[in-house]
Amino acid sequence: MKILVPVKRVVDYNVKVRVKSDGTGVDIANVKMSMNPFDEIAVEEAVRLKEKGVATEIIAVSCGDAKCQETLRTAMAIGADRGILVETTEELQPLAVAKLLKALVDKEQPQLIILGKQAIDDDANQTGQMLAALGDLPQATFASKVEVSGDKVSVTREVDGGLETISLSLPAVITTDLRLNEPRYVTLPNIMKAKKKQLDTVKPEDLGVDVKPRLKTLKVSEPPKRGAGIKVPDVATLVEKLKNEAKVI
């Protein structure tokens, strides 16, 4: 079985994000970048399936500029066998990424596509679903457990009411939730091995995909700062302020 794992380069989750002074977007100059945490979980799950003998090859894919090679090398250090970079300087929106992945799925013919449920930069939560729709593939989103048996995959999903287990026919698309696994620590020897693994670069034009943005960002702004709290002398004053100032009761 061949598994395709898309990975995205995003601002590290430990970094405090700052908006540009002109409101055109997020300032990423001299900011630490890393692999999207949900995608890291997806790579880990693919590697675990390979260690169980279910998968034979794991292909990591990233779409973006040349710096995305670092993210692919990290994926290969975790355990991916090779990487594909779809290199472009264009701003990539979920539909464009889904179309690029669809073209690569047609080319590579993987039996399973595992990707993070969302990226922590735009929180769109759309790419996996769009890819499944474009490829007419069964999908299981927000996976907390994945079990492959023959040409079927059983996925336990996290839903509002609890857990839901569904069975899919392969090939299929799965998006990962936080509780699926805990990614392993990347060791130095594996980082060195990853530098020697195959990394191919293609352009969107090579795949016949138009990646021009369909949506326009009008303005990006920070959320309003929270005001300082106050102390009240008694319950009656608290109720009065909740009723007349906060207007929540």
In this structure, what CATH number is given to the domain that contains residue 75? 3.40.50.620
Q: pLDDT tens, 96-126?
A: 999 999 999 999 999 999 999 999 988 999 9
Total number of domains in the chain: 1
Q: What H or E segment, with its residue span, contains residue 45?
A: helix 37-51
pLDDT, residue 26, reads 85
| Phi, psi for residue 142 in degrees, rounded to 5 | 55, 50
User: In the structure encoding, which two tokens stand for residue 76, read together?
Assistant: 């290969």
**Is 249 part of a structural domain of the chain?**
no
User: Does some domain include residue 47?
Assistant: yes
Nearest to 27 by CA among 17, 36, 12: 17
Q: Residues 67-98: pLDDT tens digits?
A: 999 999 999 999 999 999 999 999 899 999 99
- Could you tell me if residue 133 is inside a domain? yes
Q: Is residue 205 part of a domain?
A: yes
pLDDT of residue 246: 81
Q: How far is CA 31 from the centre of its chain?
A: 19
Beta bridge partners, 157, equal 143, 164
Residue 129 located in a structural domain: yes
Give domain status of residue 164, yes or no: yes
Domain membership of residue 15 (yes or no) is yes
Report pLDDT digits (tens) over 132-186. Answer: 999 999 999 999 999 999 899 999 998 888 899 999 999 999 999 999 999 999 9
Alpha-carbon distance 45 to 55, whole Å? 11
This prediction's pTM: 0.85
Q: Convert the pLDDT of each residue in 2-39 to its tens digit.
A: 999 999 999 999 988 888 888 888 888 888 999 999 99
Domain of residue 26 covers 2-244
DSSP 3-state of 158: strand
DSSP category for residue 237: H
Residue 197 domain-assigned?
Answer: yes
